[in-house]
Amino acid sequence: MSDRKLYINGEFCSSSTGDTFANINPATGATNGIVHEAKAGDVDRAVQAAKAALNGPWGTMPQAERLKLLAAAADGIRRRFDDFLAAEIQDTGKPVSWASKIDIPRGAANLQLFADLTRNIPNESYVSDTPDGGKALNYAVRQPLGVVGVICPWNLPLLLMTWKVGPALAAGNTVVVKPSEETPSTATLLAEVMDEIGMPAGVYNVVHGFGPNSAGQALVQHPDVAAITFTGASATGQRIMADASPTLKPLSFELGGKNPAIVFADADFDAAVAGTVRSAFSNCGQVCLCSERVYVERPIFDRFVAALKQGAEALKYGPPIDESTGIGPLISKQHRDKVVSYYELARAEGATIVTGGGVPSLGEEWDAGSWVEPTILTGLGDDARCVREEIFGPVCHVAPFDREDEVIRRANDTEYGLCAAVWTSDLQRGHRIAAAMDCGLVWLNSWFLRDLRTPFGGTGASGIGREGGIHSVNFYSELKNVCVKL
Ligand code: NAD
Ligand code: 6OD
């Protein structure tokens, strides 16, 4: 049984109130272990430790040494790859084929990238003429923001946490991380790594718990937390923004999506089908970038739906640890209830259920897990709730279209704006549509390929700001201009 403690000021500790909650394995419903729940007092201790580290060893450490420690943390993840993999699989139930190729390697890569990139960022400077005929030198210096609160979701726990912790530490900040209550383990393992590599106490802190009236809200409201970086649901983002407003801190928000995929008749058919099977059902549809709305040009609509059905039905349920398992469970029973309620709503809205639409019976211990069938819907109008609301499960609605201008309008007809996937062999059209999409990221004939240095984020209800490469460094540092009369 695992015992996921808080990590504050370089020490693993219980919560000051003694509160704990259970960590459940979503594949089996079994209890993995207990998690210690931080309350406001624990969060305050973590923030004070993070502040002290800023004013102490971390703040005075030369940048090169700081970045060396960050690279050592990346090495630590790689060295303990199997521990991270096992913990992530136990918390999420995700198939090993996905976690071993995406979650853990990208988790290490996030820390490595910012260790490498940050030392190569040039400083801005200008020599200019002054009104008195002289010269002045202006130069900008980057400074850390201070203590950064990092609030993460459960779908890609290590990946999305390191994506924030990497640049925050590289820029000289200290962090207090609040992992999702569903997935406490890899943040705790990273604390062990930080211990092993000699990271100064207080630089990396972990406070487990929930959102409202728990660790999440306490972190957001804390006056000594200089900024919040949050990935999660749009409604949670609204709440965080309201709770953060009295302390006027910068916020970086990566939120929900209802992403379109657009398939033209001239696309490489097999690649478009395989790509859409991935983009709709990977990680059991629990990736913010998943395609929940698929628009297919009418001449290939029926053939495409039939092939997509075949692809969905070929995804094999099974033990997450089995390499041939193609689809894992949802994160929790509660989330399954939500997804299944959308399957029922789809029926009520008049959808045709092409495949899926229920809960599989897998037998033995697996029936206590939160499994759900990958589901394809057709026949709904653009105003149906199942076409407009984020479901965050293995489900997509497929609709035919006739014209390019029509599909652009329909794809953009959403409050969200995270990403879009476009499948066509006409690259000019691909670029034209990429330009017309109201979102932060467009995949052309691909999905979930992204260089970590590129900007990532959404428009509208999908988020505020961009992270990735230099864009992360810009969020996690404050620029100060110094002007010198020469
Ligand atoms: P969630 O918003 O319920 O929770 C995310 C985190 O916020 C958790 O750690 C939670 O404890 C915390 N939290 C909840 N309420 C809070 C509050 N009032 N104050 C402070 N913290 C609070 O999201 P989730 O269910 O964990 O994740 C699924 C959602 O995340 C989906 O909507 C998905 O689209 C989105 N997501 C977006 C991206 C992206 O990059 N755009 C990536 C992954 C997930
Ligand atoms: O490309 C990435 O690494 C990234 N930030 C993915 C986010 C996925 C959201 O669920």
CATH number at 284 reads: 3.40.309.10
Identify whether 382 is part of a domain. Answer: yes
The count of domains in the chain is 2
Beta strand extents in 268-350 (DSSP E only): 291-297
Identify whether 21 is part of a domain. Answer: yes
Parent domain of 129: 2-255+462-485
- Given a cut of 90, whether residue 364 has pLDDT beyond it is no
- Any catalytic annotation for residue 284? no
- Given a cut of 90, whether residue 8 has pLDDT beyond it is yes
User: pLDDT, tens digit, for every residue of 52-61?
Assistant: 999 999 999 9
| Half-sphere exposure for 468 (CA within 13 Å, toward CB) | 14
Q: Are residues 321 and 198 in the same domain?
A: no
Identify whether 457 is part of a domain. Answer: no
Ligand 1 neighbours (beta carbon < 6 A): 151-155, 160, 178, 180-181, 210-212, 216-217, 220, 231-233, 236, 239-240, 254-257, 288, 390, 392, 418, 458, 462-463
Q: Are residues 427 and 287 in the same domain?
A: yes
Identify whether 236 is part of a domain. Answer: yes
| Mean pLDDT score, 235-260 | 98
Q: Are residues 304 and 243 in the same domain?
A: no
Smallest Cα–Cα separation from 92: which of 151, 33, 34, 23?
23
User: pLDDT, tens digit, for every residue of 30-39?
Assistant: 999 999 999 9
Q: Are residues 210 and 277 in the same domain?
A: no
Q: Are residues 299 and 198 in the same domain?
A: no
Beta strand extents in 362-474 (DSSP E only): 375-378, 395-401, 419-423, 441-444, 463-464
**63-79 vs 185-197: helix crossing angle, rounded to 10:** 120
The residue whose CB lies within 8 Å of the most ligand 1 atoms, and thus the one to mutate among 43, 213, 236, is 236
Confidence at residue 12, expressed as pLDDT on a 0 to 100 scale: 98
- Cα–Cα dist 303/324, whole Å: 27
Integer CA distances (angstroms), 7 to 73, 75, 203, 330, in order: 16, 20, 11, 28
Q: Are residues 11 and 121 in the same domain?
A: yes
Q: Are residues 200 and 266 in the same domain?
A: no
Name the burial class of residue 136, with classes exposed (0-12), middle (13-18) and buried (19+) by CB atoms within 10 angstroms of its CB: middle
Confidence at residue 92, expressed as pLDDT on a 0 to 100 scale: 98
Smallest Cα–Cα separation from 166: which of 72, 51, 88, 79?
72
Residue 318: in which H helix or E strand, if any?
none
Smallest Cα–Cα separation from 171: which of 198, 189, 148, 153?
148
Name the residue at shortest CA distance from atom 9 of ligand 2. Answer: 288
User: pLDDT, tens digit, for every residue of 366-378?
Assistant: 899 999 999 999 9
Identify whether 225 is part of a domain. Answer: yes
- Any catalytic annotation for residue 439? no
Say which of 288, 290, 386, 419 is annotated catalytic.
288
Contact 57, 50 (CB under 8 A): no
Q: How many CB atoms lie within 10 A of CB 135?
A: 12
Rounded to the nearest integer, the mean pLDDT of the chain is: 97
Residue in this structure with the two tokens 């499960």, named with its chain if needed:
393
Identify whether 195 is part of a domain. Answer: yes
Question: Which atom of ligand 1 is found nearest the CA of 256?
Answer: 34
Identify whether 47 is part of a domain. Answer: yes
Ligand 2 neighbours (beta carbon < 6 A): 106, 155-156, 159, 163, 287-289, 450, 456
- Cα–Cα dist 258/292, whole Å: 6
Say which of 37, 181, 182, 254 is annotated catalytic.
254
Residues 6+ apart with CB under 8 A from 399: 293, 294, 295, 296, 378, 380, 382, 387, 410
- Cα–Cα dist 294/398, whole Å: 5
Q: Are residues 313 and 220 in the same domain?
A: no
